[in-house]
A and B are shown apart, each in its own frame.
Chain A
Amino acid sequence: MVDFNHVTMVYPGGNKAIDDLNLKINNGEFVFVVGASGSGKSTLLKLILKELSPSEGRVTVMGNDLSTVKSKGLPLIRRQMGVVFQDFRLLKDRTIYENVAFAMQVVETPKRDIKIRVNELLSMVGLANKEKAYPDELSGGEQQRVALARALANRPKLLLADEPTGNLDVDNANEIMKLLERANARGTTVVVVTHNMDVVNSMRKRVITLSHGILVKDQPEGYISNEF
């Protein structure tokens, strides 16, 4: 699904955010990425999204060597990925329904299919009754669930989540993780960046630890003892 081959990412200005990384994430896996602030976790996700191109090495996603993907082909790859950001990134001038529908609109899904799918997603994240509300009228946990519904709208093969529980209390965090697990159970490969020790430890999934851009630990059914 995702393959990093001797990938180094140096930002303009000289910051080395990823340092000679080798990493393989298989189809159907659920992976946590942990590490201290500034260790390169978000950069790793951005490389998978091809928002950034590596200074050295090769990133392969779903069989595509990203260095050879042209700007025309990139949208087609991204359509198979879903992204959840820590800060939700919902459109404030659109309702919850419209926010989720938007993801399907931009890939030109027929209106009728959009309606069915959005209703299904909103029920799944427990927000069917809030479809007419605007993001500002929702709690942080609810907004995060909307963001997740949007990320799942196009049935992505790969789901990337950058601190999806960062702003949430324990209950909300567990709620989100359950939804991610369910998506994973249906075949979506999930990569979650998190600081949340409890979440990681309760799930017993593969854990990848970064430190200064270097992969320092890769544990199946990992357990972490220090809060980052």
Chain B
Amino acid sequence: MSFKALGYSIKQGFINIKRNKMFSLASVGTMVACLFMLGVFLGILINFMHILKNAESTVTISVFFNKELTPEQIADIGKNIKERPEVDSVEYRTAEEAWKMFSEEYYAGDSDLLASFGDDNPLGDSDSYLVTLKNMKDQEELTKYLNNITGVRSVNSPQSTMESINKLNGIISITSIALIVILFLVSIFLISNTVVVAISVRREEIAIMRYIGASDGFISGPFIVEGVIIGTIGAIIPVGLLYGLYFALLKFVEEDLSGMASWLQLMSPNQIFIYLAPICVVLGIGIGLIGSIHTVRKHLKV
């Protein structure tokens, strides 16, 4: 298509949208909802993975021993654990150290809660190994292995928390994906309908164009442009909204949730939007193209 024809198509595409405000608005609105939800979902997912990755490097498994074990036996167990391929490091920790560290990490800034424990060390008076994993996915297997070592009294791993977070993550993902797929289909359907209306408004004009000898590309150009414009607007709005909201969220986390901030490390907006913005725009334009090209093929028989 020539430059001139492209200019014509763009101009006529905008005219189509102006003539057909209701349908265009409905299409844009649905796309905004669709891509906004996708953005929220992706934002959560990207941050979630980020947090998990941070957590991976810090998550440790505590291994406690029976009291009657000799220091040699304990050292042996430590050596065996260390030899496991999935283990990153093993550290020996006395009961006092463990309690101090635990209380600092989990009750930081909450002295009331800490005080309620009094002088009771809930970890008992046993020493432990602190095992760090290379990869968190091996956690379940390693826990099983540790539990089976004779002389080990108990294994304390954050497994159940991780499991429920993973489960929640799964539920959120499936629901979001289902919703997004539905909204995508609705978006395509609405854009298609918008283009059908635009074509029917221009029926006469199209017939005349055909008699005059306009090429198929020239005839269908404005309608495809119309779809792409709707798709692009429908993508830019949610990206803008998400950007604003994300800033607000970051501020909220920083100011009001500073107590949790040690593990709630959100990514910077730029880190996220470098992925999110192109994904949304490509999807928006893609939906616009699919919706309009499909319709133009069907209704203009080009």
Contact = CB atoms under 8 A, between A and B. Distances in A.
B214 A106 contact: yes
Given A89-B204, A91-B208, A105 B8 contact: yes
A78 B208 contact: no
Given A89-B204, A108-B2, A108-B5, A75 B215 contact: yes
A146 interface: no
A105 B207 CA distance: 15
Contacts of A91: 204-205, 208
In the complex, which range does the number of interface residues on chain B fall in?
A: 10 to 19
Interface in B1-50: 2, 4-5, 8
Interface string B205-223: 1011111111110100000
B212 A78 contact: yes
Given A89-B204, A91-B204, A91-B205, A106 B213 contact: yes
A81 B210 CA distance: 11
Given A75-B214, A75-B215, A106 B209 contact: yes
B208 A72 contact: no
A76 B213 contact: yes
Contact of A107 (B207, B210, B212, B216): B212
A159 B88 CA distance: 87
A77 interface: yes
A70 to B, nearest CB: 11
Interface of A: 49, 71-72, 74-81, 83, 89, 91, 102-103, 105-108, 110, 150, 154
Interface of B: 2, 4-5, 8, 204-205, 207-216, 218, 302
Given A72-B215, A103-B212, A107-B213, 12 more contacts: A49-B211, A75-B214, A78-B210, A78-B212, A79-B213, A81-B213, A102-B212, A106-B209, A107-B212, A108-B4, A150-B212, A154-B212
